[in-house]
């Protein structure tokens, strides 16, 4: 099975950034690709921004948004004027303005179970028959023993939710290593193991048209990992510092490629996602991950790090 065959069975797909922040930007190449295959595409992202954008920790509830059309519990359609009730514009609002269409917003406060239900309910209303989750950087491919993983909560919940969907679900990873959480050696090891398991569904590079759209959205947002994909599209490579110098990433031409995997097989591979698979709230998932020794993005956003550097992890 490959992505072309899966897309051939679909009429309308949701392509959604799974990590919050600027992951919706990383959806652009996949949306373009599926459109070329004749699939109508709805873009989406999470209601969770980095703290430099939204000072309130965690994802926003749908009830905390203005100028958004609620679809169901946990999901809404955003337009250019969508804001939080205290005035914060989400990256999805910027994407809506640049693209000239509405973008789905998903709140993962309901844990893996609530998020899966929100995806199903919203998908039913929008006529979605294929969901592709997009992760910028590749930390969603963590096996669970990598010491650099510091934002496993959103990815873990979203991967578990994707694996629970009754229809086709795919995980795409763009910006190979650009979030600085997995080393390139760890990422190469994990991708190789997933390939050996038969999880790979294909790969596709971003086009110049994709990169131009990504740059327009990224230039109006605070994303770093997605911006590095644009930098790779300019022919740049080598070591880059992100998160105010607290992480270092090595940019390569592979950052331009989206690798597609079976979401269910990546879920089976991921200890992190399996740990939160039966959770009914974000807090429950966070407690479980912390209990098992994982620091989470919520941990940092709530200021629990001794250096006072909260909220810069995604």
Is there a contact between 37 and 51 (Cβ–Cβ < 8 Å)?
A: no
- Band of pLDDT at residue 309, cut at 50, 70 and 90: very low
Which DSSP letter does residue 87 get? S
Q: What is the pLDDT of residue 22?
A: 87
Is there a contact between 230 and 236 (Cβ–Cβ < 8 Å)?
A: no
Q: Is residue 115 scored above 50 in pLDDT?
A: yes
For residue 285, the SS3 value is: helix
Give the integer Cα–Cα distance in Å for 208 and 216. Answer: 12
Give me the DSSP letters along 195-235.
HHTT-EEEEEEPPHHHHHHHHHHHTTS--SHHHHHHHHHTT
Which DSSP letter does residue 134 get? E
Residues 6+ apart with CB under 8 A from 68: 62, 76, 77, 78, 79, 82, 105
CATH of 3-301, one of 3.30.70, 3.40.50, 1.10.533, 1.10.150: 3.40.50
- pLDDT per position as a tens digit, 209-242: 999 999 999 988 777 778 889 999 999 888 887 6
> Residues 247-276, buried b or exposed e (16+ Cβ, 10 A)?
bebebeebbbbbbbbbbbbbbebbebbbbb
Q: How far apart, in Å, do the first and last CA atoms of the chain sit?
A: 32
The pair phi, psi for residue 294, each rounded to 5°, is: -95, 130
For residue 19, the SS3 value is: coil
Domain boundaries, the chain: 3-301
Q: Is residue 304 scored above 50 in pLDDT?
A: no
Q: What is the pLDDT of residue 12?
A: 98
Which DSSP letter does residue 258 get? E
Distances (CA, A) of 11 to 15, 38, 247, 248: 13, 8, 41, 40
Average confidence score pLDDT of the chain: 92
Strand order in the sheet with 168-174: 65-72, 75-84, 103-106, 40-46, 12-17, 130-136, 168-174, 257-262, 200-205
- Mean pLDDT over residues 241-250, rounded? 73
Q: What is the pLDDT of residue 307?
A: 46
Which DSSP letter does residue 269 get? H
Q: Is residue 267 scored above 50 in pLDDT?
A: yes
- Band of pLDDT at residue 245, cut at 50, 70 and 90: low
Residues 6+ apart with CB under 8 A from 138: 173, 175, 176, 177, 178, 179, 181, 182, 187
3-17, 58-72, 142-156, 292-306: which has the minimum mean pLDDT? Answer: 292-306
């Amino acid at each position: 099975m490959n992505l072309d065959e899966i897309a051939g069975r679909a009429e309308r797909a949701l392509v959604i950034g799974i990590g919050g922040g600027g992951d919706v930007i990383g959806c652009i190449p996949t949306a373009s690709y599926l459109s070329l295959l004749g699939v109508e595409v709805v873009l989406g992202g999470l209601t969770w921004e980095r703290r430099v954008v939204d000072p309130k920790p965690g994802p926003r509830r749908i009830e905390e948004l203005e100028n958004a059309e609620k679809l169901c519990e946990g999901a809404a359609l955003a337009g250019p004027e969508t804001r939080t009730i205290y005035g914060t514009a989400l990256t999805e609002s910027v994407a809506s303005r640049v693209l000239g269409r509405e973008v789905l917003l998903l709140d993962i406060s309901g844990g893996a179970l609530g998020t899966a239900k929100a995806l199903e309910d919203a998908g039913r209303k929008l006529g979605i028959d294929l969901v592709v989750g997009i992760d910028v950087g590749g930390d969603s491919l963590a096996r669970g023993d990598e010491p650099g993983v510091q934002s496993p909560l959103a990815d873990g919940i979203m991967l578990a939710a994707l694996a629970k969907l009754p229809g086709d679900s795919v995980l795409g990873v763009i910006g190979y290593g650009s979030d600085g959480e997995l080393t390139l050696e760890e990422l190469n090891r994990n991708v190789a193991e997933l390939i050996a398991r038969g999880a790979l569904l294909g790969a596709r590079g971003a086009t110049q048209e994709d990169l131009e759209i990504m740059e327009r959205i990224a230039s109006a947002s605070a994303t770093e990992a997605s911006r590095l994909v644009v930098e790779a599209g300019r022919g740049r490579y080598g070591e880059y510092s992100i998160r105010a110098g607290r992480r270092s990433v090595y940019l390569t031409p592979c950052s331009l490629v989206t690798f597609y995997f079976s979401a269910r097989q990546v879920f089976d591979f991921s200890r992190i996602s399996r740990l939160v698979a039966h959770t009914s709230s974000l807090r429950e998932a966070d407690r479980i991950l912390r209990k098992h020794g994982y620091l989470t993005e919520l941990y940092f956003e709530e200021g629990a790090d001794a250096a006072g550097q909260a909220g810069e992890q995604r």
